[in-house]
Amino acid sequence: MAVSGRSPGLPAQGTTPSTTLIRNVLLLDGTGTAARAAAVRVAGDRIAEVGALTPRPGETVIDGNGLMLAPGFIDTHSHADRALVRGNDGLGALSQGITTVVVGEDGGSPYPLAAFFDSLTRRGMPMNVAAYVGHGTVRGRAMGNDYKRHATEAEVSRMKELLAAELKSGALGLSSGLEYDPGIYSARSEVVELAKVASTAGGRYISHIRSEDRTEWDAIDEIIQIGRQARLPVQISHTKLAMKSLWGQGDSLVNVLNRSRAAGVNITADVYPYRFWQSGLSVLFPERNFTDRKAAEFALDQVAPPDEITLTSYGPHPDYAGKTVAQIAKERGTDPATTLLALVKDADDARKAGRPSGETIIAASMDERDIEKIIAWPFTNICTDGELDGRHPRGFGSFTRVLGRYVRERHAVSLPEAIRKMTSLAADNVGIANRGRVAAGAFADLVLFDPATVIDNATPADPRAVSTGIAKVWVNGKLAYGDGKTTGARGGTVVRRK
């Protein structure tokens, strides 16, 4: 590289950096304060000034037409990893105002993270990407296929080494998926030992907890104990009360979380705004006994009824995709519990035989009252839990759904508070610096939107329908989305632990 005699990145002498002025907007700065009239000047990838600003000669001026300008939204629980590596243009995220996705969730992270970050950097990213290190990922590397048991001391030591090395790549901390293989087989002490490694590195713990239905209260207690014993901030992923007998207990959940915060545990949460989740059939069987008729009957009675469990993919019988368990039961002439057992067992047999086993379901298990209570808790931020090319509409509609349905239609939270939950609180809950607030010096991730029309359009039948009301999105000062389309700019960067 030639020595130029000046710092790299600064403009040549005699020129001024090109700036952009976004004016005629109502600013929601991400802190939760009310909207105010203000203009924002962007220089390079940063916000230079905020206030009553007038255009400078030669400056690019954007007229916001009186719409609202907010910090770009931060999705603290995203499954965008795979699609980004394949070169997805980020439409699902950008079109709902998301400028930063946090991946490596539920215990599964790209390995090694350094290579993942390198490949994204080489390819270019439509939005910013941060990652956690998956517990299941390091557990899998330490134990191989022999994972259906507690780990030995030597295996836990190996996991700690792997985690420490991955954290050096700038990961935000440790993620776990204790309802999934292989995390479900871990002892709590193993997770605490690993969380201590994350804690020492200044990282955090985020978890798809061990149960969101049958043993939810034990699972909540477990994450609180992990936070207490490992002395680090802990976040509950996609918080829900996913069982009929738990419905209406949103207040009890918030009380438990408030009590542990008062006792010194920094516990927070994220949530997506849908009654239905997406996962695999096997999570309906926490004991992983696929011949247990009682478990099948319990799942259909308490977790989700046969007509609200839809197969979105199914390896052993691909034409079942799009059908409910009730419809398949009718087709096969068997009762729903027998049908469910056959479906989960055939998928498991296919997996064991190395045949296509892919089984994903969308199932309705949550109650709107609880979703509203969880959204309103002051320490809950908004997430999608979605993919950029997935079958659950959350991948395209979570943030706009909150703004349209939970803010404008139902008044579950105020608009400035909802924006705080999508921006500064999200950044704080996962440990991201200099994003999530509109302030001089912060990165210029911005979203211009219309609060009167913003709404999600994605549904299970049309999961990739683009939202209404998101006018423009900038990522690090580059326009990434406008007029309903991505611009093709690759303005994103890897976001590392602060």
Evaluated on CA atoms 264, 265, 271, 275, the torsion sign reads: negative
Whose Cβ is closer to Zn ion: residue 274's or residue 449's? 274
Which of residues 106 and 367 has its CB atom nearest to Zn ion in the complex?
106
Shortest Å, Cβ 239 to Zn ion: 11
| Number of residues in contact with Zn ion under rule CB under 5 A | 2
Whole-number Å distance between alpha carbons of 170 and 167: 6
Is 387 an interacting residue with respect to Zn ion (CB under 5 A)? no
Token pair, residue 129, equals 């990407």
Residue 234: which of 402, 429, 45 has the closest Cα?
A: 429
- Among the residue ranges 2-10, 182-190, 207-215, 467-475, the one whose residues contact Zn ion (CB under 5 A): 207-215
Q: Which stretch binds Zn ion (CB under 5 A): 131-139, 203-211, 267-275, 313-321?
A: 203-211
| Residue 392 lies near Zn ion (rule: CB under 5 A) | no
Smaller CB separation from Zn ion, 279 or 476: 279
Site for Zn ion in 260-299 (CB under 5 A): none
Nearer to Zn ion, 69 or 283 (CB): 283
Q: How far apart are CA 283 and CA 146, in angstroms?
A: 20
Burial of 86: CB neighbours in 10 Å, binned 0-12, 13-18, 19+: exposed
In whole angstroms, give the CA distance from residue 63 to residue 65.
5
Least distance in Å: CB of 446 to Zn ion? 29
Q: Which residue is nearest to Zn ion (CB)?
A: 208
Would you say 270 or 367 has its CB closer to Zn ion? Answer: 270
- Residue 407 sits at φ, ψ, to 5 deg, of -90, -60
Shortest distance (Å) from residue 37 CB to Zn ion: 40
User: Could you give the 3-state DSSP secondary structure of residue 370?
Assistant: helix
Report in angstroms how near the CB of residue 415 gets to Zn ion at its nearest: 28
Window 70 to 99, contacts with Zn ion (CB under 5 A): none
Q: Which is nearer to Zn ion, 132 or 474 (CB)?
A: 132
Nearest to 321 by CA among 360, 366, 263, 266: 360
Q: Please identify, using beta-carbon distances, which residue of 208 and 437 lies nearer to Zn ion.
A: 208
Report whether 99 contacts 475 (CB < 8 A). yes
Task: Single out the segment in contact with Zn ion by CB under 5 A; choices: 78-86, 93-101, 138-146, 200-208.
Answer: 200-208
| DSSP notation for 199-248 | HHTT-EEEEE-S-SSTTHHHHHHHHHHHHHHHTS-EEESS----SGGGTT
Determine if 208 is a binding residue for Zn ion (CB under 5 A): yes
Three-state DSSP class for residue 491: coil
Distance CA 170, CA 366 (A): 35
Residue positions counted in the chain:
498
Q: How far is the CB of 407 from Zn ion (least distance, A)?
A: 25
Nearer to Zn ion, 109 or 457 (CB): 109
Site string for Zn ion, 95-124 (x = CB under 5 A): -----------x------------------
Q: Give me the least distance between CB of 77 and Zn ion, in Å please.
A: 7
**Shortest Å distance, C-beta 283 to Zn ion:** 9
**Closer to Zn ion at the Cβ: 106 or 166?**
106
Site track for Zn ion across 153-192, x = CB under 5 A:
----------------------------------------
CA torsion 221-223-224-226 (nearest 10°) is 120
Task: Choose between 190 and 385: whose C-beta lies nearer to Zn ion.
Answer: 385
Both tokens of 264, joined, read: 């010194």
Rounded least distance, CB 271 to Zn ion, Å: 12
Nearest distance, CB of residue 178 and Zn ion, angstroms: 10
Q: Using CA atoms, how far apart are residues 203 and 196, in angstroms rounded to an integer?
A: 9
Burial per residue of 269-290, b for 16 or more beta-carbon CB atoms within 10 angstroms, e otherwise: bbbbbbbbbbbbbbbbbbeeeb
**Closest distance to Zn ion from the beta carbon of 235 (Å):** 12
Residues at the site binding Zn ion, with contacts judged by CB under 5 A = 106, 208
